[in-house]
Structures are given as structure tokens and as C-alpha cells.
Amino acid sequence: MQKRPGGQFLRFKNDLLGTKEKPGKIIEEYHKSVEIFKRDIYGDNAANSNIDHHKIAAFYIRSFLMHKPFVLDIPADTKNPELCLYASLPNEYFSIPYLAAVFKTANDKFDGILRMPRVYMNNFIKLLSHYKNNIEKLEPAALSNIFYLIEQLYFK
């Protein structure tokens, strides 16, 4: 993303991820949300229950959209820099390689190449952008179903 117009202004906020010893906001949000979800679905058996890789991805992407680890850091003296959508919506676009990594982890035969028509990709990114701006409306279980369909239909 940094090689595209405006990408040189992108910064990643490492502190949001944290470390193994001290998790950052993204990891904390993920675990808190998953715990609530599992308690709602599995009740007393929540601690012994697992969620699938599509839900894991949905909860992490929700956390990425909520805390925005990628930010545009444009110097004040820069007048009207040329930006591409990758630079304008980096957290949304980051979801694509993240999904590929999650899918690859769940399936050794997965090749990780996205073959989604551009119009669907743009609409998916717009959907994520809408959720970033209205995070309370994002339902991770529904988003995980979208991820399942993307994996089945477009990652071949």
C-alpha cells in the first residue's frame, strides 16, 4: 500500500497490537467480544467451545475497524496530496491479505489468490468502510458468513 499514491503517509500504530505479555487494544477488544459472543451462543459451555476461522477473522477485522491501526500521517505542509483508495481506506483493504492469512492457516491447500471481480471488491470495501463508521451495526456472525462466501467463491 505504501507504493501507491499517498501510501508514503501511512503509519501503523504498533501499540494497538501490543505484545504477548501486554496485549494492545485490538487484541483486548477481540477477546472481550469473542467471550461475549460465546457466552451468548454457548451459555455455560462457552469456555469449552470454539469458533470457526471465519468468525475469528470477523472479530479481528471488527477490532481493526474499531481501533484503526493504519492511519494517514500527512505533514501539515503537504498541500492536497494525491491519495488512492488503498491509502484512504487502509484498514478496510488490510482485511483482504488478513483473510487470506486466516484461510491459509485453516486450510493447507489454500493458495490465497483473490479472484473477485473489481465491482464486488469495491462494494466489499465500501461495506467495511460503512461498518468502520458505524461499528455498533457490525454483526460479526453475519460478517463471518460473508467471509465464508468470499473464501468459497473468490479465493481459488
DSSP letters spanning 95-143: HHHHHHHHHHHH-TT----B---HHHHHHHHHHHHHHHHTGGG--HHHH
Q: What is the pLDDT of residues 32-70, one digit of tens each?
A: 999 999 999 999 989 899 999 999 999 999 999 999 998
Residue 2: predicted pLDDT: 67
Question: For residue range 137-155, what is the model confidence (pLDDT) as tens digits?
Answer: 999 999 999 999 998 888 7
- pTM listed for this prediction: 0.85
Residue-level pLDDT at 73: 78
Distance of CA 137 to the CA centre of its chain: 15
Boundaries of every domain in the chain: 7-154
